[in-house]
Chains A and B, each alone.
Chain A
Amino acid sequence: MSETLPRDAAAAAIRDPEFEDDVLVRVENLVKHFPIKAGGLISRTVGHVQAVDGVSLTIGRGQTIGLVGETGCGKSTLARCIAGLLPVTSGRVTFEGKNITNLSRRAMRPYRREIQMIFQDPYGSLNPRRRVGAIIGDPFTIHRTATGSERKRAVQELMERVGLNPEHYNRFPAEFSGGQRQRIGVARALALRPKLIICDEPVSALDVSIQAQVLNLLSDLQDDFGLSYLFIAHDLSVVKHVSDAVMVMYLGRTAEQGPGDQVYATPRHPYTVALLSAAPAADPDSAAARQRIILTGDVPSPINPPSGCRFHPRCPKAQELCTQQEPALESKAGDPQDHRTACHFPVEAGENLATAGGRSPR
């Protein structure tokens, strides 16, 4: 925890002057660097993994924000910083106008009830040695909101709500299928009636047929409880299905963000275009008509990211400028204000990136 930031709830409760009623969470210029230690007993820091490097994001009430990007681009780290599971290096996270950045565990407690998480791995996120009733009942126990038979009833109601048989209260997680386990995770996240649920790739470990069931469950719950979601995925078609707004991350920075239909219809960042071209399409005709852009090389190391635009070593449109100057995240080529792209040479509609004179990687 950082020493410079307020530790207690009273100081944290000071209202943000920019507070807007329909904004639930505001992330401002969030930076998360992990120090790399070397040496044994007396360790020194030899570098930093720049997992998240200056990302801003707004989540409105009842909204779903899709967060996409390759593995290692910092999307899960960003989610954990928002959920208060990781201390933030710099920047600010506000929840309903109150600064919740780097609160102590005690001060964070009331906000834990408001922000919950659903995890990626339906096997790893449930304790194999504990019964399902105890797992879903944990939120009640920890926050002392219900005990004894009252808790059991609440847990069984939750199980029913997420489509589980309440009679399976005494079973162990191992006795459930992947989709059912994810429903257990949803029930646990829902127990405290949070306002925001961060879904960290909630369906990527599931069967395609089960994915749809879980996505439908999440969308039903959103309608019933007025939930907001921060929905992390690397499958763009899933994100398109659920999101009001989309944010594309690359190597700890925002590449492009905007309303879902805008970003999908007119992607501006070459990386977004490449990601979209890689998503499978259900319609074979449109699939054949599409040109696929295959990115060469791997994601560069976040310990020593490329200069200028971090995407330049792999970008088909990269020029000298891209290696020197970091592009600002702003609205490009007549896009609306809320569709912002961090690119010096945004892609025009109809432009063929596959044939653009690309640079070879590295």
Chain B
Amino acid sequence: MSVTELEFQAQRVESAPEEAIQGRSQWQLTWARLRHDKMAIASIVVILIMTALAILAPVFASLLGHGVYQAFTGKGLSADGLPVAPGAHGFPLGTDYVGRDLLIRILYGARISLFVGITTTALATIAGVAVGLVAGFYGGWVDTVLARFIDAVLAFPFIVLALALAAIYGSSLLIVIGVITFFSWAGISRIVRGQTLSIKEKEYIEAARSLGAGPWRIMFIDILPNLLGPVLVLATLYIPTAIVFEATLSFLGIGIPAPTASWGVILSEAQQFYQTSWWYVVFPAAALLITTLAFNLLGDGIRDAMDPRTERLFAGSTKRRKRRASAPTGPDAAPPAAATAGMGG
């Protein structure tokens, strides 16, 4: 999803007229609308299930008696030394190239993906809101410097930086989180800056100033609540981007270092086996696809729910088809058709 597209979406949220319904806040209204969006609810359920599976990964590991790093060179590999198929020898989703349980690997991979996705998005949102708010509110040279810095970050080739950092410091989780955060905050910042520029000209800001409110009070009490809507939508849409980002880095070998289970790492290892062992590619790719798709659909749902004009949300199915077509996939999403069909609602 490109930055301009996100900007467009954020604007739509902002320009929405406020609705007048008895005593309910914006959030209550949003939830009331979101509740009727089957797609968004399905996405929330999928995300919750994925989170639960990730948290319970050690439980599954002890139930099956298969550790995440435990290689079953005997029963886990076929006579030719290839991974065994799903169901064989007590491996529900088969094994990987050294005979480790693929299901356990994927569940542990979900921990990394969700952790990286949520942490980097949280950090990027805090940084992006802070920088955008200060730039937009103070204007002048502060804005000029910060806005140019944002442009510079957005123009930077992130793979090159990640490669350079991995080459110097070796790949690690910390570098992955740092790189993803560094390349995510700028997009949020730019949108927050734009919104702040428009909000600070509103009469209620002048009213606050005429009461003697200081700059911090105006930024955090008067402007910030008006930004939370667009920022929430953006953040929801940044989580899948960050998950894909992590998978990309790991796939290229500059992300999470090898023995650790990560979807990108598993897919990277599976490259040589896709002709003989389909499950080795399909299951991690499906996990990646389902998770990112759920977050994207939820983000779309929240955006629609915040827009009081979206009555068509409950009627039309054309929009959903369009959305599904434009939903981003992983860098290597080999079997999208099957997974998407399973998501239909």
A117 in contact with B207 given A142-B217, A175-B22, A175-B23 (CB within 8 Å): yes
What are 8 A-B interface contacts by the 8 Å CB criterion?
A85-B209, A116-B210, A119-B203, A129-B26, A138-B213, A142-B213, A170-B23, A172-B18
Q: Which residues of B contact A119 (CB under 8 A)?
A: 203, 206-207
Closest to B25 in A: A172
Contact A126–B18 (Cβ < 8 Å)? no
Q: Which residues of A contact B18 (CB under 8 A)?
A: 128, 172-174
- Within 8 Å of chain B (Cβ to Cβ): is A171? yes
Binds B, one of A104-112, A214-222, A227-235, A317-325: A104-112
Contact A188–B226 (Cβ < 8 Å)? no
Q: Which residues of B contact A80 (CB under 8 A)?
A: 206
Closest 5 CB pairs of A and B: A112-B212, A129-B225, A124-B203, A125-B203, A174-B18
Interface string of B245-272 (1 = CB under 8 A from A): 0000000000000000000000000000
Contact A175–B207 (Cβ < 8 Å)? no
CB distance from A51 to the nearest CB of B (A): 16
Q: Which residues of B contact A41 (CB under 8 A)?
A: 144
Closest to A121 in B: B203
Q: Would you list which residues of chain A between 314 and 349 have a CB under 8 Å from chain B?
A: none
Closest to B227 in A: A129
Contact B23–A124 (Cβ < 8 Å)? no
Contact A125–B204 (Cβ < 8 Å)? yes
Contact B210–A112 (Cβ < 8 Å)? yes
Interface string of A27-71 (1 = CB under 8 A from B): 000000000000001000000000000000000000000000000
Closest to A80 in B: B206
- Within 8 Å of chain B (Cβ to Cβ): is A359? no
**Complex Cα gap A127–B18 (Å):** 11
- Within 8 Å of chain B (Cβ to Cβ): is A139? yes
Contact B226–A128 (Cβ < 8 Å)? yes
Q: Which residues of A contact B (CB under 8 A)?
A: 41, 80, 83-85, 105, 108-109, 112-113, 116-117, 119-121, 124-130, 138-139, 142-143, 170-175, 185, 188, 192
- Within 8 Å of chain A (Cβ to Cβ): is B222? yes
> Contact size class for B?
20 to 34
Contact B20–A175 (Cβ < 8 Å)? yes
Interface centre among B23, B212, B222 (most CB of A within 10 A): B212
CB distance from B225 to the nearest CB of A (A): 4
CB distance from A167 to the nearest CB of B (A): 10
Contact A127–B226 (Cβ < 8 Å)? yes
CB distance from A95 to the nearest CB of B (A): 14
Of B19, B203, B212, which contacts A120 at CB under 8 A?
A: B203
Q: Which residues of A contact B20 (CB under 8 A)?
A: 174-175
**Complex Cα gap A174–B22 (Å):** 10
**Complex Cα gap A125–B208 (Å):** 9
A174 in contact with B19 given A85-B209, A105-B214, A112-B212 (CB within 8 Å): yes
Interface centre among A109, A116, A125 (most CB of B within 10 A): A125
CB distance from A132 to the nearest CB of B (A): 11
Q: Which residues of A contact B214 (CB under 8 A)?
A: 105
Interface string of B198-226 (1 = CB under 8 A from A): 00001110111111111001000110011
Of A85, A188, A192, which contacts B206 at CB under 8 A?
A: A85
**Complex Cα gap A125–B204 (Å):** 4
CB distance from B68 to the nearest CB of A (A): 46
Contact B144–A188 (Cβ < 8 Å)? no
**Complex Cα gap A126–B204 (Å):** 5
**Complex Cα gap A143–B212 (Å):** 8
Contact A109–B144 (Cβ < 8 Å)? no
Q: Which residues of B contact A116 (CB under 8 A)?
A: 210-211
Closest to A168 in B: B23
Q: Which residues of A contact B19 (CB under 8 A)?
A: 174
Starting from the known contacts A128-B226, A139-B211, 5 additional A-B residue pairs (CB-CB under 8 Å) come to: A109-B212, A125-B207, A138-B208, A143-B211, A172-B18
Of B23, B204, B213, which contacts A171 at CB under 8 A?
A: B23
CB distance from B309 to the nearest CB of A (A): 15
Q: Which residues of B contact A174 (CB under 8 A)?
A: 18-20
**Complex Cα gap A11–B18 (Å):** 46
**Complex Cα gap A142–B204 (Å):** 15
Closest to A172 in B: B25
Closest to B215 in A: A105
Contact A127–B225 (Cβ < 8 Å)? yes
CB distance from A113 to the nearest CB of B (A): 8
A83 in contact with B210 given A41-B144, A170-B23, A174-B18 (CB within 8 Å): yes
Closest to A127 in B: B204
Of B22, B25, B203, B211, which contacts A138 at CB under 8 A?
A: B211
Q: Which residues of A contact B206 (CB under 8 A)?
A: 80, 85, 117, 119, 125
Closest to B222 in A: A127
Closest to A134 in B: B221
Contact B204–A124 (Cβ < 8 Å)? yes
Interface centre among B21, B217, B221 (most CB of A within 10 A): B221
Of A129, A130, A142, A175, which contacts B211 at CB under 8 A?
A: A142
Contact B203–A108 (Cβ < 8 Å)? no
CB distance from B232 to the nearest CB of A (A): 13
CB distance from A84 to the nearest CB of B (A): 8
Interface centre among B202, B207, B213 (most CB of A within 10 A): B207
Q: Which residues of A contact B208 (CB under 8 A)?
A: 127, 138
Of B26, B204, B212, B222, which contacts A105 at CB under 8 A?
A: B212
